[in-house]
Structure 1
Amino acid sequence: MATKGYENKRSEVNELRTLLRNPEVQRDPQRYCEVVEKVTLYQTLGLDVSSLFSDMVLACATRSLVQKKLVYLYLCNYAQSNSDLTLLTINTLQKDCRDTNPMIRGLALRSMCGLRVPNLVEYVLVPLKDGLADKSPYVRQTAVMGCVKLFYLDQSYVTDNNLAESLHAMIHDRDAQVVANAVIALEEVLAARGGIMLTQEVAYMLFNRLREFTEWKQCAVMNVLLRYKPASDDEVFSILNIVDERLKHSNTGVVLGAARLFLHFTAEMEDIQEDIYERLKTPLITLMSSAPAEVSFSVLHHLHTLVKKRPDVLAKDFKAFFCRFSDPAYVKTKKLDVLVDVAMESNFEPIVEEMTAYVTDIDVERARHAVRCVGRIAVKVPAAAEHCTTLLAFLELNSEYVTAETVIVMRDYLRHSPSDAVDLLPQLFELISPDLFDDESDARAAFAWLLGEFGELIEDAPYLLEAMVDDVEAEETAAVRLQLLNSTLKLFFKRPPECQKMLGRLLETLTSDEIQQDVHDRALLYYRLLRSNPDEARRVINATLPPILDHDRSAMTDMELREFNTLSVIYGQPSINFTVQQPPYCTFGTIDPTAALKQAQQANDEDEDEEEEADDTPSFTQR
């Protein structure tokens, strides 16, 4: 079957060769163009049509722009594998570079620069210099980007022929797209020197012409302008006045790029930070509300970064983060996270009411997340502690996963505010029992923690814990076993007569467990500690737990602000953690496949060497 498929493909290529060489087909321009189009189609489908190279070279001699595009696309694809025959196309390409039609000139120049054959570099230089001085903006744009292609093919040609200086001159071109291309090209060519040198004249020229660039080029140029250092605060305000109109753009990338300029230039101006955030929030909220879900998710992450830095700025706009029915799950989850950070004493009540509605959502993960968010607000906002009765109301829903998540949240809250245990625990244990969450290991661990930590306030605590201890052999989770051990010991020190036999049975079971080694070792440690010094055991086991505090996210937030409008905001980590560090010459941070492959192979070889060395060393078996 494979041989038959190969024969079919070979016959198709031979048929195309016959058609290309047929005089009747050559005399009919339309039919000839259709054959060329079919060759290009087979090429895009992955069929090897490189054997038609010499015939396609002859097809260059045409006035049809469509046919020229097809032929040039073919030549650029197979030029490297047919480097000797590619020389036959140079005369045609050079002739087309002098054509009266600027589209043909630009197409020919782009194709010459895209051949990627080192032996033909000398033929590209003259048409490239002529293209930089061409009267057509399209040809000049193509020539500018051709310099970058030539640079990656042979860097010495660009250096020896002063093409970088020619590109510098193009920055002052009358056509805006040529200017943007020149800036982008210089960033590539001068990457080893840190990119283009931004003088005040060049920077102001680029700021003033931003609106003339295409959307993608606006984003690229604004990333370059981040390196400019204003001389004074007045100059900063002048720049922000120019960039301000970019915040009204409909393109998300342009708005986020402008927002990053605002944050970058005012990073050291603490007195106007509130005004800057006020200016940025409206366009970002508008984008979040009107953009497609994927774009809205990205904008939400950037808004969350602003919220983490200054939650008070968006405190009055919290309703913008309420979930809509049409929002996908990932957007709703992110909106809940933003609402937690926006919540404060002035607005927590409607936020908690909104989150309560999500607890009954059919999506299990979203319902769990809503319960967790209510608990986080209760910990974060002292005035919201009174609303913890809302958490108890969740238990009346008779939903296993809601009950389990509520117990976990209640554990975290009572660890933060143990003084509220007197009022909350009696109501809590009237509504729950261990049987409600047999499949929820985290909830069972939280339930055991509550019994051990506040056993003196719960009348039936020893009996509830004893039911779990008697079933410990069926418990497969090490975390629950460890928590049962800790809770039983804590309750033993508070209510010894009721817990002594239960503790003995538990220690005997766990010390004989050789499968979960950490549980076995912990039980053995506690057993020996109790035998040697009960008072010391009480001090160790009943040690005061550190309070639960909000994590200090200031350093992470500052990093996200510095790398605003990048994937660092989405991932929540600096770019160095998830990007490959490039050599001086790179293409806008993209990964060179060849270099990446070599790097991976080198790492693989090093791992194999380490494995060989490890085989020669004695191994030690851990008990």
Structure 2
Amino acid sequence: MTDSKYFTTTKKGEIFELKAELNCEKKDRKREAVKKVIASMTVGKDVSALFTDVVNCMQTDNLELKKLVYLYLMNYAKSQPDLAILAVNTFVKDCDDSNPLIRALAVRTMGCIRVDKITEYLCEPLRKCLKDEDPYVRKTAAVCVAKLHDINSQLVEDQGFLDMLKELVSDSNPMVVANAVAAICEILDVSDLDSSHDTLRIDSHIINKLLTALNECTEWGQIFILDAISSYNPEDEREAGTICDRVIPRLAHANSAVVLSAIKVIMKLIDMLDTNSDQVSILIKKMSPPLVTLLSADSETQFVALRNINLIIQKRHDVLKHEMKVFFVKYNDPIYVKLEKLDIMIRLTNQSNIAQVLAELKEYATEVDVDFVRKSVRAIGRCAIKVEVAAERCVSTLLELIQTKVNYVVQEAIVVIKDIFRKYPNKYESIISTLCENLDTLDEPEARASMIWIIGEYAERIDNADELLEGFLEGFTDESVQVQLQLLTAIVKLFLKRPTETPSELVQQVLSLATHESDNPDLRDRGYIYWRLLSSDPQAAKEVVLSEKPLISEETEMVEPSLLDELICHISTLASVFHKPSSAFVEGKSTVIKKLTRSVTPVQTTDEQIPEKTKQVKQPPSNDLIDDLLQMDFTPAPKQPAPSNTTSCDLLNSLDLIGDSQPAALTTTPVQVLAPVPVSVPIAAPPSNILDDLDILGGITSAPSPIVPPAFQMQGQASLSGNSFSAHPFVSPTQVWLPMSKGKGLELSGIFRRKDGQVYMDITFSNKGVQPLSNFAIQFNKNSFGLVPGQQISQINTIAPNTSTNFSLPVNTNGPIHKTEPLTTLQVAIKNSLDIFYFTTQIPMHVLFIEDIDVNKSFYLNAWKEIPAANEAQTTLSNIQFSTFDILAKLNANNIFTINKQRIGEEDIVYLASKLTNGIFIMIELKILQCNITISLRSRVTQVYPDVKNAVCGIINCA
């Protein structure tokens, strides 16, 4: 009869009977009684009353009975801490037993009894077991150190167990090494990583021992060792290459966890290698077959592999660039595998394989699984956006799918065609008539909103656009908010494009419905904005509503770069499956990025070196990680009063967004087409709900547009320590360019500043000589930024002795270019009636940041990833007493524009961009934690780093 009989007893008075059996002299009856106790404990019965009787059974040579008693102890020791001390002597005795299994069992149980009162009694037995002659005991004791550290870390440090644990890393037995490494990693992971744990740091000497033990460990031991190796930062490129070479054989292992752990190590270390070296090519080639092999496993393993592959190809697109066919969907794949394969297919799509991908997607669009068909149709649209040469073929395919008249296929096709129109404006408008034939079949909000957007965007080309939109308007109150918002914008577009042909009643009706009949604040706000614009200044309305929209990109689901670096460090863990950092789903988990970069010589600055970057980022949970990168969370600036001579773009300043008063009647005066609103014109930021809802389907685009309107940047105020300030352009301190001793009595001083898109050189001419000075002229030598005087200074009047004259000289940037050292050097010649004088100065870099830069999210993400890690520089500012809002306001006011800001725990991570007058594009990452700021720079021209760094630091530190 099996042991299952112990789980079926329901007798009354059982505890009394068990107590008697436990105290029986017969060993067999005693063993049976303990089994009954464990069975009762397992099914949830409280048998803690038998604690003393069970502990008395520990004094036995029977290994089975001893295991059962230890199991009981582990379960009830915490609820009976005083009685648990009774077992201490037995533990000490068992740790000296001749049987290594009993010694290991004793030390394992000691680690599992989480009672503070008896931990100090366990130190000596644990110390003996750490030096035991049997490797099985030593490997068990190594894990016990980690468990004891979790109970009382100070005790472990005081007793020297950390040093003993590190000694086990050099053990001759590979399993002891693996367990020691696992314990060390656990301790480092849960501790505060302070100086007391420096003894556990893995160095190059230990790495060699781990690599040696790697070949002899079991598969789980190999995983522990590979995880430890992945946390090590090699000293140079040569060491990183050696580690990669010794890890490569693990790629052929039968265990998928070992394979992914090995890939994690290689993916991290490959960043330290020369990207053009043969070794990198070999490593990339060798990573491909094992990843492909993982896709032949069961569905669950496939899904885990696909989620990891999704990250790997975002970091290293060339790893699987020739393996497109393995990601083709099989008919019997579960839906979660199909969708993941579909996403990877799109990421690997390029001009060479677009034909076979499109053929596959067309087949998928005829499947019976509705969700999969929808994703497939959307994938065709993503292909059109990603591969321009295949866009026409993709559009034709979508039209073929529309002709099938399958409702959900038609609706998805219309949604993606809207995106194609955004990507390729004025190119495929001939298909609009085909789309309009399906208006009556659209019942999903997103499809209806997309169709309305298309009609409004091309209203001037659709003869009956007013009739089509009027048809939607009949059921306005029953539509979703998404459709209502697009319908409002589309009718206003129609009115602005065809003012004489559009019935004003149609516009008046939609505005009334949006403002008076709707309770949705977003819809009401947009309605009042349009109403006030149309009634006050139609030209301003046209500039705003019909402004040029930024082109969209296919890469809408890319993981944000710093998060991607972190997830690469966690390949083969749940973090890589969820695409979220472990801190997002493990309570109390601190996330540390161990990013490796190739060793390079830091960029030299005027007073310090910019150190290499080691990122440390904690990422909050999110539904879409690309959304995390591009979701602004700024607090909008206070509304500013409109000036008396309100310009077309200042009208938003004076809008009453609550809109309680009745706006003026709409004007039907024909309006003229104007240029889009330039970025440099101050537009007061409306409340955040309006910024959120004027989306890519509407007339005004905010997100994902990365440029924050300058009023958003310059007019906002923030409070700091009871004082408020208004962000303003940064001005460097006044400098003496030409001292009196060299100018024969003429002294030149001044500053460089930027105003309204123009660089100015504000010069003070001081005559400290004895004769008047006149006939002034100025000339610049060739310089790195093509700076030339915008006018001559001959109009300066005669300067009498002991007097001064101020002159603001506009400086243009269209002159001849010649690289100088340093780049900001400017050589100037000043002529007057006395002589010609020469001086050299440095142009402050912040005056060369231009106001108008064209950056969308795809460009920013791709530019960041395309620039190699060697081109990244970093510096740190300490004791900064400004808030994040204040810092960004100052940077934005000086043309360093915010792309995104996100809050991660206590740390703010901000992405910014700027462009110099000569077209050099600069990307900046700020990590703001309390009073410390880490500034990271990336650009294709690394020579600008020192001056850009000085400019950013100066702007941040300015009052």
TM-score bracket, shorter-length normalisation:
0.7 to 0.9
Q: Identify which range, 166-175 or 412-421, moves more after superposition.
A: 166-175
Residue 78 to residue 176, structure 1, CA distance change in 2 (3 Å):
same
1:246 to 245, 250, 258: 250
Mapped to 1, the partners of 2:53 and 2:85 lie a distance apart of 14
C-alpha displacement of 1:536: 2.7
C-alpha displacement of 1:92: 3.1
Alignment root-mean-square deviation, CA: 2.6
- What per-residue deviation string (whole Å, max 9, x for no partner) do you get for residues 227-251 of structure 1? 4343443333322221111111121
2:388 to 377, 382, 389: 382
The DSSP-based 3-state class of the residue aligned with 2:170 is coil
1:570 equivalent in alignment to 2:573: no
Residue 155 to residue 478, structure 1, CA distance change in 2 (3 Å):
closer
Contact 2:351 2:389 (C-alpha < 8 Å) held by counterparts: yes
1:495 to 489, 492, 498: 498
1:331 equivalent in alignment to 2:337: yes
> Who is 1:399 aligned against?
406
Contact 1:208 1:242 (C-alpha < 8 Å) held by counterparts: no
Contact 1:421 1:454 (C-alpha < 8 Å) held by counterparts: no
Aligned residue type for 2:527: A
- What per-residue deviation string (whole Å, max 9, x for no partner) do you get for residues 187-227 of structure 1? 44565325623333221111111122232232222222234
Question: 1:44-55 counterparts in 2 under 5 A?
Answer: 44-55=42-53
Mapped to 2, the partners of 1:228 and 1:514 lie a distance apart of 59
> Who is 1:601 aligned against?
none
Aligned residue type for 2:288: K
Mapped to 2, the partners of 1:446 and 1:132 lie a distance apart of 68
The DSSP-based 3-state class of the residue aligned with 1:212 is coil
The DSSP-based 3-state class of the residue aligned with 2:117 is helix
Mapped to 2, the partners of 1:265 and 1:393 lie a distance apart of 47
1:346 equivalent in alignment to 2:370: no
1:300 to 273, 297, 306: 306
Question: 1:307-318 counterparts in 2 under 5 A?
Answer: 307-318=313-324
Mapped to 1, the partners of 2:113 and 2:518 lie a distance apart of 68
Residue 206 to residue 451, structure 1, CA distance change in 2 (3 Å):
same
2:441 to 415, 432, 436: 436
- What per-residue deviation string (whole Å, max 9, x for no partner) do you get for residues 308-363 of structure 1? 23434423210110111222111111111111111111001111111111212222
Mapped to 1, the partners of 2:538 and 2:157 lie a distance apart of 80
Mapped to 2, the partners of 1:113 and 1:98 lie a distance apart of 17
C-alpha displacement of 1:370: 0.8
C-alpha displacement of 1:150: 3.3
> Who is 1:358 aligned against?
364
1:265 equivalent in alignment to 2:263: no
The DSSP-based 3-state class of the residue aligned with 1:145 is helix
Mapped to 2, the partners of 1:455 and 1:413 lie a distance apart of 17
Residue 466 to residue 372, structure 1, CA distance change in 2 (3 Å):
same
Contact 2:287 2:319 (C-alpha < 8 Å) held by counterparts: no
Residue 411 to residue 114, structure 1, CA distance change in 2 (3 Å):
closer
Identity %: 35
Mapped to 1, the partners of 2:521 and 2:240 lie a distance apart of 62
Aligned residue type for 1:261: V
Mapped to 2, the partners of 1:153 and 1:20 lie a distance apart of 32
Aligned residue type for 2:445: S
Residue 229 to residue 297, structure 1, CA distance change in 2 (3 Å):
same
The DSSP-based 3-state class of the residue aligned with 2:511 is helix
Residue 481 to residue 125, structure 1, CA distance change in 2 (3 Å):
closer
Could you tell me which runs of 5 or more consecutive residues in structure 2 were left unpaired when the two chains were aligned: 1-9, 592-657, 661-959
Aligned residue type for 1:230: P
1:217 to 218, 221, 224: 221
Residue 460 to residue 78, structure 1, CA distance change in 2 (3 Å):
same
Mapped to 2, the partners of 1:568 and 1:114 lie a distance apart of 27
Q: Identify which range, 122-131 or 62-71, moves more after superposition.
A: 122-131
Aligned residue type for 2:47: V
Whichever structure has more strand as a proportion of its residues is 2
> Who is 1:184 aligned against?
182
- What per-residue deviation string (whole Å, max 9, x for no partner) do you get for residues 105-163 of structure 1? 22123223433333333432332232223222212222222333333444444334323
1:484 to 487, 491, 512: 487
Q: Identify which range, 295-304 or 227-236, moves more after superposition.
A: 227-236
Question: 1:38-437 counterparts in 2 under 5 A?
Answer: 38-189=36-187, 191=191, 192=193, 193=197, 196-269=200-273, 270-272=275-277, 273-287=280-294, 289-387=295-393, 388-429=395-436, 431-433=437-439, 435-437=440-442
> Who is 1:3 aligned against?
none
Mapped to 1, the partners of 2:18 and 2:547 lie a distance apart of 84
Runs of 4+ in 1 over 6 A off after TM superposition: none
C-alpha displacement of 1:489: 1.9
C-alpha displacement of 1:261: 1.3
Count of aligned pairs between the two proteins: 571
Contact 1:183 1:196 (C-alpha < 8 Å) held by counterparts: no
Aligned residue type for 1:545: K
Residue 262 to residue 77, structure 1, CA distance change in 2 (3 Å):
same
Mapped to 2, the partners of 1:582 and 1:499 lie a distance apart of 60
The DSSP-based 3-state class of the residue aligned with 1:410 is helix
Mapped to 1, the partners of 2:131 and 2:348 lie a distance apart of 56
1:13 to 4, 12, 15: 15
Contact 2:96 2:103 (C-alpha < 8 Å) held by counterparts: yes
Residue 622 to residue 529, structure 1, CA distance change in 2 (3 Å):
closer
Contact 2:230 2:569 (C-alpha < 8 Å) held by counterparts: no
Contact 1:17 1:52 (C-alpha < 8 Å) held by counterparts: yes
Mapped to 2, the partners of 1:366 and 1:106 lie a distance apart of 53
Aligned residue type for 2:435: L
Mapped to 2, the partners of 1:341 and 1:583 lie a distance apart of 31
Mapped to 1, the partners of 2:48 and 2:72 lie a distance apart of 9
- What per-residue deviation string (whole Å, max 9, x for no partner) do you get for residues 59-110 of structure 1? 2233321111111111222223323333333333333333222212221232
The DSSP-based 3-state class of the residue aligned with 1:266 is helix
Question: 1:438-587 counterparts in 2 under 5 A?
Answer: 438=443, 440-475=444-479, 477-500=480-503, 501-551=505-555, 553=558, 555=561, 556-581=563-588
Residue 560 to residue 277, structure 1, CA distance change in 2 (3 Å):
farther
Mapped to 2, the partners of 1:71 and 1:392 lie a distance apart of 73
Aligned residue type for 1:533: D
Aligned residue type for 1:238: T
Mapped to 2, the partners of 1:99 and 1:306 lie a distance apart of 51
Contact 1:263 1:276 (C-alpha < 8 Å) held by counterparts: no
C-alpha displacement of 1:389: 0.8
C-alpha displacement of 1:563: 4.1
Q: Identify which range, 382-391 or 485-494, moves more after superposition.
A: 485-494
Contact 1:246 1:255 (C-alpha < 8 Å) held by counterparts: yes
Mapped to 2, the partners of 1:124 and 1:520 lie a distance apart of 70
The DSSP-based 3-state class of the residue aligned with 2:254 is coil
C-alpha displacement of 1:512: 2.5
The DSSP-based 3-state class of the residue aligned with 1:546 is coil
Mapped to 2, the partners of 1:97 and 1:36 lie a distance apart of 22
C-alpha displacement of 1:573: 4.2
Mapped to 2, the partners of 1:73 and 1:531 lie a distance apart of 81
C-alpha displacement of 1:574: 4.2
Aligned residue type for 1:44: T
Aligned residue type for 2:429: V
What TM-score results when the alignment is normalised by the length of structure 1? 0.85
- What per-residue deviation string (whole Å, max 9, x for no partner) do you get for residues 168-205 of structure 1? 33222221111222223334456532562333322111
